[in-house]
Amino acid sequence: MIVAVGLTVSPVREVVLRLQELLFPSIADVAVLSVEVDVAIVRVDAHSTSRGAACPQCGIWSARVHSSYLRFPADVPSGGRRVVLRLRVRRFRCLDRGCPRRAFVEQIPGLTRKHGQRTERLRSTLASVGLALAGRAGARLSAILGMSVSRSTVLRLVNALPEPDIPSPRVVGVDEYATRRGHAYGTVLVDIETRRPVDLLPDREASSVAGWLAARPGIEVVCRDRAPFFAEGARAGAPQAVQVADRWHLWNNLGDAAERAVARHRQCLRVLLPESVGKVEAEAEADEPVMSGETAASPWKSDRFANRIRARHATVHAMLEAGQSRRSIGRQLHMTHRTVKGLADAARPEDLFTGQYRFSRATAVDEYKPYLDKRWDEGCANAWKLWEEIILLGYTGSYGIVSAYIRKKRTSPRPVTAQPPTPRAVTR
C-alpha cells in the first residue's frame, strides 16, 4: 500500500499530516511525502522543511543549497515491521569565506547525526536494551522486536553513552582491589547507602584517596579497613568525616585473631583415636586384593601409580592375546601408538620402570646409612651434625642428601591418631 501527497486532494493531505504526527511526533521541520508498506518493511519518504542550516565549523547560517542526496537511516519498528527512512538531505554552501569548510550537510535534530546509519530514536532504544541485557541477549531480543543488530553494535552503542552524573555520596566505603594479586592494587570507592561503586583509583596511595575525598566536601562518614594509607588519606582529604569500620572487616579481623589464637594452642585439640580404629584400618589394608605380579616390597615410589601401570600392562596383553591389533588397542584405550608399543613390548610391568621411579637408586650416602640409623636410634636427629660425623668417615657427598634421608626418617609413618582440626576450621 502506498500513500502519496496530493496537492489538490485534501483527504490525502490529512492522512499524510496524521502520518507525520504519528511517525515524527517530537521532531520539527520534517515532511512526509509517502509511506510504502510491505510484508516485512515500511519505507517512509521524507525531507527537511527548514530553510537553511548552521555550519558545524563556524556556526554561520546558510540557506544557499549546493546539492542534495538520499540517506536511508533505519528507524524504530512499527507493528513488527522494520522501518527505513528514505530521507532527502541537502548540502549547503558556507557563506563565510574564511571557513575551511566550503559545504556541509544538514542534520535534523533528534533524527539524524553525522555518518549515522540509524535514527536517534533507534539508537536510544538499542542502547536501553543493551544496558538491560548486555550484548548477546540484547541482540537476540532486538531481532525479535524487528531491530536486527549484532551484539558488537549493541555494546558499541552502550559504550557511546555519556557517563551518568553520580551525586556525591554521604557515606563512602574505601577498600582495595587487585588487578594482579600480589603485584598491582587499586582503590575502589563505594556508596554505602546505595551499595553501588562510585569510582576506581589506579593505586592505593594516601594522596590519591585524599584528593578524591577533598573534591567531595559532602562526605560525612568514611568506612574503611585498617590500612594505614587509607587512614592517612581519609584524615587529609575529609577531616570533617567520621572514620568507621564496616561489618565485614570487623568479622574478618575477629576471625584472624581467633585463628592465630587457635594456632598457638592447636596441640590442645589433638585427640587420640581408640586403638581399635588403628587395628581396623590395618586389617582393611591387609585384606586389599593383590594384583598379579605384585610383591610384598614394592620397588616403586607410589603403589597407586604402580598398580595403574600393572593394570594397563595386563589389559594391553589380554587384548593382544585376543587377536586385536595395536592400532585398535590404542583407539579403544585412548593411548598413543608409542604408549601401546611400550606396554606390549614389556614382558612384565617391572621392565617399564627404571631410574627415578625406583627406590633402589644408588646414592652416595647408601654405605653410611647403617651408621646414620644407629645414631638416629641413639637420639641424634641433627642432620648437620650427622653430616659432619660421616665426613670424618670418608663421605664425599653433599649435605642435601643426608638432610633428605634424615627428613624421610623424621616424617616416617607414626601410630594412627586423629589429626587436630585446622585453626581456620575451628574459627569458622
Which pLDDT tens digit goes with each residue over 155-199? 999 999 988 777 888 999 999 999 888 788 999 999 999 888 999
pLDDT higher than 70, residue 300: no
Q: Are 138 and 125 in contact (CB under 8 A)?
A: no
Which triple of cell numbers denotes residue 63? 540557506
CA Rg value for the chain: 41
Mean pLDDT of 3-23: 59
What pLDDT is recorded for position 249?
Answer: 84
| Measured distance CA(391)–CA(387) in Å, rounded | 6
- Closest alpha carbon to 127 in 149, 155, 151, 147: 155
Output the pLDDT for position 86.
92
Count other C-beta atoms under 10 Å from residue 368's C-beta. Answer: 22
Query: What confidence tier does 208 reach under pLDDT thresholds 50, 70, 90?
Result: very high
- pLDDT tens-digit readout, 372-384: 988 988 888 899 9
Strand partners, 13: none
Residue 343 has pLDDT above 70, yes or no: yes
The mean pLDDT value of the chain amounts to 81
| CA 408 vs CA 201, 278, 374: distances in Å | 50, 22, 15
pLDDT of residue 2: 47
State how far the alpha carbon of 360 is from the alpha carbons of 2, 138, 188, in Å: 95, 66, 58
Residue 303 Cα distances to 187, 298, 300, 310, angstroms: 51, 7, 6, 10
Question: Mean pLDDT across the stretch 84-92?
Answer: 92
Spell out the residues 6+ positions from residue 197 whose beta carbon is closer than 8 angstroms to its own: 188, 189, 190, 191
Count the helix, strand and coil residues of the chain and give each as a percent rounded to the nearest 5: 45, 20, 35
pLDDT at 283 over 60: no
What is residue 418's predicted lDDT score, i.e. its pLDDT?
43
Confidence class for position 289, pLDDT limits 50, 70, 90: very low
Single-letter amino acid code for the residue at 270: R
Distance CA 233, CA 373 (A): 62
> pLDDT tens-digit profile of 211-240?
999 999 889 999 988 888 899 999 999 999
DSSP string, 229-296: HHHHHHHHH-TTSEEE--HHHHHHHHHHHHHHHHHHTGGGG--PPPHHHHHHHHHHHHTSPPPTT--S
Residue 279 has pLDDT above 70, yes or no: no
Which residues, at least 6 apart from 380, have a Cβ–Cβ distance to it below 8 Å?
386
- Model pTM? 0.47
| pLDDT score of 68 | 92
Cα-flanking dihedrals φ and ψ of residue 248, to 5°?
-65, -45
Instruction: Name residues whose C-beta falls within 8 Å of residue 230's C-beta, 6 or more positions apart in sequence.
Output: 174, 175, 187, 204, 206, 209, 224
**pLDDT for the residue numbered 301:** 53
d(CA 113, CA 120): 8
Residue 80 near residue 97, CB atoms below 8 Å: no
